[in-house]
């Protein structure tokens, strides 16, 4: 068996209300542009030299590797958020590190936390960080809300 290493990636985020928690989560996936694919949750490593691209329309039913954070709440008025961050190392031959975070709070709070997590993870690896890329989304729950943020790896 040959394992292929995806060399392109993009960041996505979405939010939604739904009838039930799974409907809200599904709506957030649709809002993020990945609702008609099969997400394969991966651990948080970005291949060395991977190239950031603009989000693309993915084929229906595609198996899509993604590192993501999500949160669903049925508490009306609650502000929820999800975010992901990628620490890109100075060393181009070393992989990047993706971190995910979600919960009750604002987009700014979640994004600040997840960016700090990515930097800390690189420090734990003894690597310096060239840059950090991130995305986050927030939603104020009406009845049943969800948020989703991810890093999609693609060929």
Answer whether 148's CB lies under 8 Å from 29's CB: yes
Residues labelled as active-site residues: 38, 43-44, 100
What is residue 111's three-state secondary structure?
helix
What is residue 101's three-state secondary structure?
strand
Q: What is the largest CA-CA distance in the chain?
A: 50
Answer whether 98's CB lies under 8 Å from 118's CB: yes
DSSP 66-77: EEEEEEEE--TT
Beta strand spans in the chain (E): 8-17, 38-41, 45-46, 51-52, 63-73, 79-89, 96-104, 129-140, 145-154
């Amino acid at each position: 068996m040959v394992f292929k290493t995806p060399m392109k990636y993009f960041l996505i985020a979405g939010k939604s209300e739904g009838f039930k928690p799974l409907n809200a989560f599904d709506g957030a996936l649709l809002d993020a542009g990945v609702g008609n694919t099969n997400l394969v949750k991966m651990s948080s490593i970005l291949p060395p030299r991977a190239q950031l691209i603009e989000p693309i329309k993915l084929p229906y039913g595609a198996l899509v590797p993604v590192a993501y954070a999500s949160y669903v709440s049925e508490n009306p008025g609650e502000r929820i958020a999800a975010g992901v961050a990628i620490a890109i190392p100075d060393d181009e031959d070393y992989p990047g590190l993706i971190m995910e975070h979600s919960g009750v709070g604002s987009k700014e709070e979640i994004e600040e936390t997840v960016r700090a997590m990515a930097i800390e993870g690189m420090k734990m690896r003894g690597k310096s960080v060239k840059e950090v890329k991130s995305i986050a989304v927030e939603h104020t729950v009406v009845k049943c809300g969800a948020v989703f943020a991810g890093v999609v790896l693609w060929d």
